[in-house]
Amino acid sequence: MRRFKWNVLISLCLFTGLLGGCGEQSVEPTVGSTPLQIDMIVKKKDGEYWNTVKLGAEVAAKEFNVKLNFLGPDSETDIKGQIKLMEASIKADRDAIILAASDYMALAQVTDQAIGIPVIGMDSEVASARPVAFVGANNYASGQLAAERLTALTGPEADIGIVNFVKGARNADQRIEGLMDYLARFPGISIVETAYCGSDQELAYRQAAAMLKRHPELDAIVGLSGEAGLGAGRAVREAGLVSKVKIVTFDSPPAVMEMLQEGTVQATVIQNPFSNGYLAVKQAVEYIQGMDVPDRTDTGTKLIDLNNMMWPENQKQLFPFVR
């Protein structure tokens, strides 16, 4: 595999509001004459979130002369499919692999096999010592952020349902852990049911609808992914309970933003998928060139509601673009 050792000092001012604005000076990876071959293996090859990750990754790939292969199964629950993609990338001896692991434990063994190939973790971690860096949100803190807003909406006594996404995914586990730890401060709050929708919006809808029937006293539902929130929002709307059941969710697909504007969803915790994709590729190139990369890069989260969704700094993150 190719390994470059050149360094160059240039000024950095990229994607204000998305990547932190302008620094004074920063060491940037150089652009080699031969493209680096980097595979980015994500949980699902399409969808609003992953399309934005891909957009950021493609910008970095163009900037740093990378031949980027954006790969993923059709479903976030296709763990075996993601393992096969990892096996193929290792066999192809790529210059680097960027992995958003669908399952923290199940992807560990195949990741361990990437000997001599730098692995960058992105979005969700894997139980392997092989990754040299991780780029993504602090999902525990994100769960706490959602819980803080939830309790402000419901008060200290409430019955709450949770719709999570993929059981075993590290970020899913961390979000619910942060949520539950925060809610433990309130003895009057009861979690009546927790469901896992596998990032399937239709399944999330059926789960939330059943939850509403089984628990007519329900005060709120937390959707720990965009698909979970959309399914829950549809169920609450169709049950005629918009004024009663509060919803806090994650991510910012257009349909979630519409539900926010109409009052079905009260708040959503957004990540920075553009930066996740961009910085994962950038750090892969830096590592290949012998530069130091941080062990962890927190790309941040924000809580968006009807009051702040139109703020200019939030618009840049909700609707990313490249200047």
pLDDT at residue number 320: 62
Question: For 157, what's the count of Cα atoms within 13 Å in the CB-facing half-sphere?
Answer: 2
Q: Is 266 in the same domain as 144? A: yes
Confidence of residue 315 (pLDDT cuts 50, 70, 90): confident
Same domain, 256 and 292: no
SS3 for 97? strand
Q: Does residue 283 lie in a domain region?
A: yes
The CA–CA distances, whole Å, from 82 to 99, 100, 157 equal 9, 9, 42
Phi, psi at residue 168, to the nearest 5°? 100, -15
**CA pair distance 50, 256, nearest whole angstrom:** 16
Reply yes or no on whether the pLDDT at 12 is more than 50: no
Give me the domain span that covers residue 262: 139-270
Is pLDDT larger for residue 265 or for residue 313? 265
User: Is 312 inside a domain boundary?
Assistant: no
Residue appearing with tokens 């401060």: 185
**55 and 76 inside one domain:** yes
| Ramachandran area for residue 142 (φ above 0: left; ψ -120 to 50: alpha; else beta) | alpha
Of residues 247 and 33, more confidently modeled: 247
* pTM, entire model: 0.88
Task: Average the pLDDT over 20-32 and give the result.
Answer: 58
For 176, residues 6+ apart whose C-beta sits below 8 A from its C-beta are: 143, 162, 164, 194, 224
Cα 25 off chain centre by = 29
Phi, psi of 276 (to 5 degrees): -55, -50
Alpha carbon 269 to its chain's center? 11
Task: Examine the domain organization and report whether 262 and 219 are in the same domain.
Answer: yes
With tokens 């932190």, the residue in question is 20
pLDDT above 60 (res 3) = no
The reported pLDDT for the residue numbered 23 is 38
Average pLDDT estimate for 194-215: 97
The total domain count for the chain is: 2
Give yes or no for residue 7 having a pLDDT over 70. Answer: no
- Residue 163 shares a structural domain with residue 214: yes
Tokens for 14, please give them.
Answer: 């990229």
Which CATH number covers residue 51? 3.40.50.2300
What pLDDT does residue 10 have? 27
Strand partners, 296: 134
pLDDT value, residue 321: 53
Residue-wise pLDDT tens digits, 81-140: 999 999 999 999 999 999 999 999 999 999 999 999 999 999 999 999 999 999 999 999
Q: How many CB atoms lie within 10 A of CB 313?
A: 11
Residues 266 and 146 in one domain: yes
Mean of pLDDT values over 245-254: 96
